[in-house]
Amino acid sequence: MPFAAFSGASMAVLLVVIVACLLAFWLCICFAMLKWNEIRYSRRKGLPPGKMGWPVLGQTTEFLKHGPSFMKKQRAKYGSVFKTHILGCPTVISIDPELNRYILMNEGKGLVPGYPQSMLDILGKCNIAAVHGAAHRRIRGSLLSLVGPLVIKDELLPKIDKFTRSFLQNWHGKTIDIQETTNEMALRVSFDQIVEHEPTALYEVFKPEFDKLLVGTISLPINIPGTNYHHGFQGRKRIVKMLKQIMAQRRASAIPYDDMLGRLLRSKDSKYILSDEEIIDQIITILYSGYETVSTTSMMAVKYLHDHPKALEELREEHFAIREKKKPGEAIDWNDYKSMSFTRAVIFETSRLATVVNGVLRRTTDDMVLNGFTIPKGWRIYVYTREINYDPFLYPEPFAFNPWRWLDKNMESHCYCFIFGGGSRLCPGKELGILQISIFIHYFVTSYRWEEVGRNEIHQFPRVEAPKGLHVRISNYHD
């Protein structure tokens, strides 16, 4: 018995020693990998300061999980320009307003779009954010022909007004998730503009695939079942298959479809000739960009207006003044929309404070010197514009919801206003998005009151979202 007891105790000690040795060995391997990655990049002279993190993964996990706090911590350590490795790419991050403005206004001078592989694979290599030079000018021209001011005024506005009025009917007495609702609204509006006459059943099949695509755009490009990238890539494949089928059917038909897809298919009759691959990627891009910005800004406008009664009161006055001039049920027209100055201010302030778009990516086409640092060829530069939105010199009391600041029209065009991009990359759908949100706000605030239900948590990075929804109880305004 004593021998057996001694043997058992010895085995337990031996097991602990083995585990400790394995753990120590594993930690040594991890440390060596980290050290090797830093040595690998330290050989390059003139790089900005910063850490590269793990091989392959870099600092992606910390970047996606902690976003703004990660940026602030790196800035405190290394300054407003630093290096890292995120989303599969060695990347220089710039939080410097002057440098950011220079980069955005000087595309082509050694800088081209530099979006991560996951976004290129899922949105398509021909999407407007990925191309540059003559291809960008041609595709941008094509998109502007679909969403330019005259098209918005004469064709899109009446359709969006009709859809929105129908969508907001019969909400009295309901408790809804405004996040889910604005998501549905934004995607359906864009979908109907693109393929207006397709059966409703197509949308029901399309939406779950689009939801997968959306999540996969910000992920590591690891194509293993179960990863966000894999789900997103599979979603894209199914969407492409659907679109190809619709395009083939339309080409075989004599019907002259007058929606966005119909116009893109007739691009050979215009100066903006697009291939089928380019057409598909533009459709996906229109859906993706309009969906996220319009839905999130609409949701956050509802949130901020709920929390700031004075702003809501002034907004309602603006919209009831419009309704007083119209017959019951009469649609909004272009002059009504152009008179919504405070509404536009609310949208800009919501976009600034919620920061739906955190920044843009560029890639160097050759070694180049910026702010005294040498950025190697092929590296990404993340123009991080988020912090500019909270600069107290540009926006006094930057964390306060103050739409009145935007009533000064010069605010929209000041040098560091990158809410909708900048330079030749200014969002071509900017005005269409503002119009969609304005019409939603008009019918929502003139029809209903609302109050929040439960504890509604908002995450600000990498996407602005309410993980458990943003629930509100709706009642008729005049009850």
Instruction: Evaluate whether 198 touches 204 at the Cβ level (below 8 Å).
Output: no
| In the block, residue with structure tokens 């998730």 | 177
In this structure, what is the dihedral angle of CA atoms 415, 418, 421, 423, given to the nearest 10 degrees? 10
Specify the length of the chain in residues: 479
- State yes or no: cis peptide before 462, omega within 30 of 0: yes
| Cβ-based neighbour number of residue 412 at 10 Å | 13
For residue 126 the two structure tokens come to 């021909």
What is the rounded CA–CA span in Å between residue 320 and residue 327?
12
| In the block, residue with structure tokens 């929105």 | 164
First to last CA, the chain: 86
Return the amino acid letter for 127. N
21 is in an annotated binding site: no
DSSP string, 404-449: GGGGSGGGGGSTT--BTB-GGGS-TTHHHHHHHHHHHHHHHHHHEE
The binding site for heme consists of: 427
The binding site consists of: 427
